[in-house]
Amino acid sequence: MNKALIGMDKSGSFRVYLAITKGMVEEAGKIHETTPLATAALGRVVTGAGLMGLMLKNPDDKVTIQFKGDGPAGEILVTANGSGKVKGYISNSELDLPLKDDGKLDVGGAVGKGTVTVIKDIGLKEPYMGRIDLVSGEIAEDLTAYFFLSEQQSTSVALGVKINTDYTVAAAGGMIIQMLPEADPESINALEKLLHQLPPISNQIEDEIQQSGPKTSEAVCESLLHRIFSSLPSAYRIEVLEYRDIQWECDCSMERLERVLLSLGEKELTQIVKEDRQAEIICQFCRKEYHFDKEHLEMLLRVAVKSKEILEKRKRKEENKEC
Ligand SMILES: [Zn+2]
């Protein structure tokens, strides 16, 4: 099940982005053949990025989150866009560590110490980039700190992935609560109180999924929203603004990988044509294999030579103009 909603409280103090991402996390795990710990770590970043994608204005806007720590997980990188499509990878999908004392998967230990970088491409000339030191490597805490330190936004992030004993995904999802500039100060106190006593979001999602019966995914999402916020005073009752789709989808294509090969330049392409006579490229996000035979590579080489000539011609023209 994958579904998200965006809501706002009655007083206009805060906005809520809530998502159930069980399907997405299952798919990420299947593609990257992850261990339970790697599924949890990648799944939390996939969910966090998916939620941050929902905060973007346009469907084509993109957000990329990169966790880079000194722990055994290596790098976790996830990209999401404004239309709810998410893709990502973890460099060590075979990750395994003992459970923590509380019986939970040790995502913080897997990530270790390091940084989280957020890149937002919203169609401006230069993408926006923010980077902070990791707080705990537990992902949600790090993203909360990112919003505060890098975007000066009071935002609370909760993420959860629960794995069954047979290694299947029991539940996955998350929530971002974003305070609005005109927030009623009382609402902040009420939310702090609520978040303080909130059970893990993955448990709440698991309950909702188990009790869902013939309910639509929208109804399950809304029921989860009311369950989470049931103890808030009625002045801050949340209304659903819209339901949104959220799903795992890689946008790789032969054309996109042709551009990757072209970006290597004439010299390197010539070498590949001469020495390897073919190229095999695997998409790091979805593990799909792309095969380029000799004819294909030679064609790309001709394009590379041609575009280099055009560039040089243009450069010479501009130099003459300057004289
Ligand atoms: Zn792909």
Q: Are residues 96 and 166 in the same domain?
A: yes
Q: Kindly report the CATH number assigned to the domain that includes residue 14.
A: 3.55.30.10
Given a contact cutoff of 8 angstroms between Cβ atoms, the answer to whether 188 and 25 are in contact is: no
Distance separating alpha carbons of residues 158 and 202, to the nearest angstrom: 9
177 in helix, strand or coil?
Answer: strand
Q: Are residues 217 and 298 in the same domain?
A: no
100, 230, 232, 288 from 32: Cα distances, Å:
24, 37, 40, 11
Q: Are residues 241 and 289 in the same domain?
A: no
Q: Are residues 141 and 27 in the same domain?
A: yes
Given a contact cutoff of 8 angstroms between Cβ atoms, the answer to whether 60 and 50 are in contact is: no
Distance separating alpha carbons of residues 174 and 97, to the nearest angstrom: 24
Give the chain's domain count: 2
One DSSP character per residue, 222-264 reads HHHHHHHHTTS-GGG-EEEEEEE--EE-----HHHHHHHHHTT
29 C-alpha to center of ligand 1: Å? 14
119 C-alpha to center of ligand 1: Å? 19
Q: Are residues 259 and 155 in the same domain?
A: no
Q: Are residues 46 and 87 in the same domain?
A: yes
177 C-alpha to center of ligand 1: Å? 31
280 C-alpha to center of ligand 1: Å? 14
290 C-alpha to center of ligand 1: Å? 10
Q: Are residues 191 and 269 in the same domain?
A: no
Distance separating alpha carbons of residues 201 and 196, to the nearest angstrom: 12
289 C-alpha to center of ligand 1: Å? 9
Per-residue model confidence (pLDDT) at position 213? 84
Q: Are residues 168 and 273 in the same domain?
A: no
Report the 10 Å Cβ neighbour count for 51: 28
Distance separating alpha carbons of residues 280 and 18, to the nearest angstrom: 39
287 C-alpha to center of ligand 1: Å? 6
pLDDT tens, residue order, the chain (323 aa): 999 999 999 999 999 999 999 999 999 999 999 999 999 999 999 999 999 999 999 999 999 999 999 999 999 999 999 999 999 999 999 999 999 998 899 999 999 999 999 999 998 889 999 999 999 999 999 999 999 999 999 999 999 999 999 999 999 999 999 999 989 999 999 999 999 999 999 999 999 999 888 889 999 999 999 999 999 999 999 999 999 999 999 999 999 999 988 888 888 889 988 898 888 999 999 999 999 999 999 999 998 888 888 888 888 888 877 66
Q: Are residues 71 and 140 in the same domain?
A: yes
264 C-alpha to center of ligand 1: Å? 19
Q: Kindly report the CATH number assigned to the domain that includes residue 305.
A: 3.90.1280.10
263 C-alpha to center of ligand 1: Å? 18
228 C-alpha to center of ligand 1: Å? 35
163 C-alpha to center of ligand 1: Å? 25
Q: How many residues does the chain have?
A: 323
80 C-alpha to center of ligand 1: Å? 13
**What DSSP state is assigned to residue 20?**
E
Given a contact cutoff of 8 angstroms between Cβ atoms, the answer to whether 7 and 18 are in contact is: yes
In the chain, where do the E strands start and end?
Answer: 2-9, 14-21, 62-69, 75-81, 85-90, 114-121, 128-133, 155-163, 169-179, 238-244, 247-248, 279-282, 289-292
> How many angstroms from the chain centroid is the CA of residue 152?
21
Give the domain range for residue 281.
Answer: 254-322
Per-residue model confidence (pLDDT) at position 123? 86
59 C-alpha to center of ligand 1: Å? 19
115 C-alpha to center of ligand 1: Å? 25
257 C-alpha to center of ligand 1: Å? 10
197 C-alpha to center of ligand 1: Å? 40
Q: Are residues 28 and 113 in the same domain?
A: yes
For ion ligand 1, residues whose CB falls within 5 Å: 250, 252, 283, 285-286, 288
Residues sharing a CB contact under 8 Å with residue 317, sequence separation 6 or more, in sequence order: none
Distance separating alpha carbons of residues 62 and 66, to the nearest angstrom: 13
The token pair that represents 227 in the structure block: 């369950």
74 C-alpha to center of ligand 1: Å? 20
96 C-alpha to center of ligand 1: Å? 25
Q: Are residues 209 and 310 in the same domain?
A: no
